[in-house]
Amino acid sequence: MQLLFIADPLESFKTTKDTTFSMMREAQRRGHTIAACEPQDVMWERGGPVTAHVRDIVLTGHADGWFSVRQERAVALAGFDAVLMRKDPPFDSEYFYATHLLEQAERDGARVFNKPRALRDHPEKLAIMEFPQFIGPTLVTRDARDIQRFHAEHRDIILKPLDGMGGMGIFRVGPDGLNLGSITETLNRGGAQSLMVQKFLPEISEGDKRVLIIGGKPVPYCLARIPQGSEVRGNLAAGGKGVARALTARDLEIANALGPILQSRGLLLAGVDVIGDYVTEINVTSPTCFQEIQQQTGCDVAALFVDALETAVDASIV
């Protein structure tokens, strides 16, 4: 297959832990060819197909200079067997516009993973509200009075922006309510922006588990991101320690319930975050943790992903 990865700049990849890199490495190992571009390289001109300025690359196997460029060219996205949207968040207006260009590319005949409409329809924090049976007490609002009421009921709460990533902008307010008003004003920008409020889950001390779902099926191991020191956030970007673990019975219950639904909507890969027994986010833009899980357990997550990708492409051709 000819694969196009739409991602962040290749030069910024940390190949010892980058999930997109592990996908590329497994794809090349199987004989697939790889091209890469960034979202700003995608273009649509009147009367023509959606195209991109891409670099055809080969992975060298070296830590330094991990790829070489065979050629640079402008090509229609429909000319690839699969287009993988792997741009990291934030999901800003440019990301939103990119999904529209990719959706037009689908009309041209391109096969895009994850499906552009599904990326738009599943904001990573809001998406959990569709599955109340799997989430803890949660409120989405921009009204400070609603937040005060929620705090009065649950006493120990987490507040976070809907468009945050990597643990950015997450606050905990305990029973004393210290700084609740100031934090609310910061996150809701004086009532202009919605935020999410959740009951604090003390099980975070045991880790914020990233449960990967590929092709509707759970990977048998998760990565528990464990907060360090006095930090409340387990995100690796916030200094959390990643520990791979086998899925619990509850993890499997959640993944087996959500997996077929997410797959049916065009989400080949999703990362469901679980604290204790509760889902806290459903990540669909650029889920990670492939390499950490493989390094600690031997489970080749990238191989599972490319298996699913090959199956999905074959099914779309039939």
Which amino acid, one-letter code, is at 185? E
How many Cα atoms are found within 13 Å in the side-chain-facing hemisphere of 248? 12
Give the separation between CA 67 and CA 25, rounded to whole angstroms.
Answer: 10
C-alpha–C-alpha distance, residues 181 and 159, integer Å: 12
Task: Report the alpha-carbon distance of residue 46 to residue 54 in Å, rounded.
Answer: 20
CB 35 within 8 A of CB 5: yes
Catalytic residues: 125, 160, 210, 225, 233, 273, 281, 283
The residues that bridge with 103 in the sheet, in sequence order, are none
Secondary structure string (H, E, C) spanning the chain: CEEEEECCCHHHCCCCCCHHHHHHHHHHHCCCEEEEECHHHEEECCCCCEEEEEEEEEECCCCCCCEEEEEEEEEEHHHCCEEEECCCCCCCHHHHHHHHHHHHHHHHCCCEECCHHHHHHCCCCHHHHHCHHHCCCEEEECCHHHHHHHHHHHCCEEEEECCCCCCCCCEEECCCCCCHHHHHHHHHCCCCCCEEEEECCHHHHHCEEEEEEECCEECCEEEEEECCCCCCCCCHHHCCEEEEEECCHHHHHHHHHHHHHHHHCCCCEEEEEEECCEEEEEECCCCCCHHHHHHHHCCCHHHHHHHHHHHHHHHHHC
